[in-house]
Amino acid sequence: MSSALKIIRWVAFALIAVLLLQIGFFAWHWYRGETSASRFAQPVITTTGVPDVGGPFSLVNHRGERVTQDTFKGKPTVYFFGFTHCPEVCPTTLFEMSQHLKDLGPDADRLNVVFVTVDPERDTPELLKTYMESFDPRIAALTGSPEEVTAAAKAFRVAYRKVPTEGGNYTMEHSASVIVTDAQGGFVSLIDYHEDKATALAKLKRAIRG
């Protein structure tokens, strides 16, 4: 009989204890909520204000060496995508980039310039090696398996597609902008195909200055 009363007393104590803990818990939360209302009232937005352009890739350069995004870290890097069966835009961009490197003088060595093909079926490392002999030797040309190229283009938000032409040939449609990253591979700016030489050069200089 007395043991039953003991149990009831202990259960009552336990219930009161739990209730007190809960009150304390809610009070604490209410207090926190009042003092830092903004923290709880709004979703937390994390943005650096920098577009998410650039990312991991693994490709082969025109000397047949495997390269990744880490190969180009340590210097600001200029990336652009194209293909060699391209009569106008791609040789023009490569030519202009060679001119920019010349104009930059010794500063050109503080910059990586990387051309990535969107046509890996035709643009083998061997073909790229011959092709790149017509441009500044500091420009690296990258290719890879179709899957590797797709992944690299995706990382840089570059769209491309194959378009059939006469006689069973095909051409490529592709984003023609030049992407400038900092020494850590973070996005800095874009150079549009139509931008004049002075503006483009100014963007490269700014990237070099960091």
Partner 1 sequence: MAQAPETYRAGAIVVEAPWSRATPGGAKVGSGYMRIMNTGSEPDRLVGGSTVVAERFEVHRSTVVDGVARMEPVTGGLEIGPGQTVELKPGALHAMLVNLRQGLNPGDTVKGMLIFEKAGVLKIEYRVGGIGAQAAPAAANVHQGH
Which residues are at the interface with partner 1 (CB under 8 A)?
Answer: 82, 84-89, 91-92, 94-96, 99, 122, 127, 130-135, 159, 163, 165-167, 169, 171, 173-177, 190, 192-194
CB-count burial class (<10 Å; 0-12, 13-18, 19+) for 89: middle
Q: Which C-beta is closer to partner 1: that of 88 or that of 147?
A: 88
Nearer to partner 1 by Cβ, of 3 and 169: the residue is 169
Task: Tell me how far apart the alpha carbons of residues 200 and 178 are, in angstroms, rounded to a whole number.
Answer: 9
CB of 62 or CB of 71, closer to partner 1: 62
Strands (DSSP E) found in 17-165:
58-61, 66-68, 77-82, 112-117, 139-143, 160-164
- Return the closest-CA partner of residue 203 out of 168, 179, 172: 179
Smallest gap from residue 103 Cβ to partner 1 (A): 14
3-state secondary structure of 210: coil
Residue 75 or 129 having the CB closest to partner 1: 129
139-150 in b/e form (b: 16+ CB < 10 A) is bbbbbbeeebbe
What single letter denotes the amino acid at residue 54? G
Of residues 82 and 183, the one with the C-beta less far from partner 1: 82
Q: How far apart are CB 191 and partner 1 at their closest, in Å? A: 10
How deeply is 208 buried, as exposed, middle or buried, from its count of CB atoms within 10 A (0-12, 13-18, 19+)? Answer: middle
Secondary structure element (H or E) that encloses residue 190, with its range: strand 187-191
**Closest CB to partner 1 among residues 176, 207:** 176
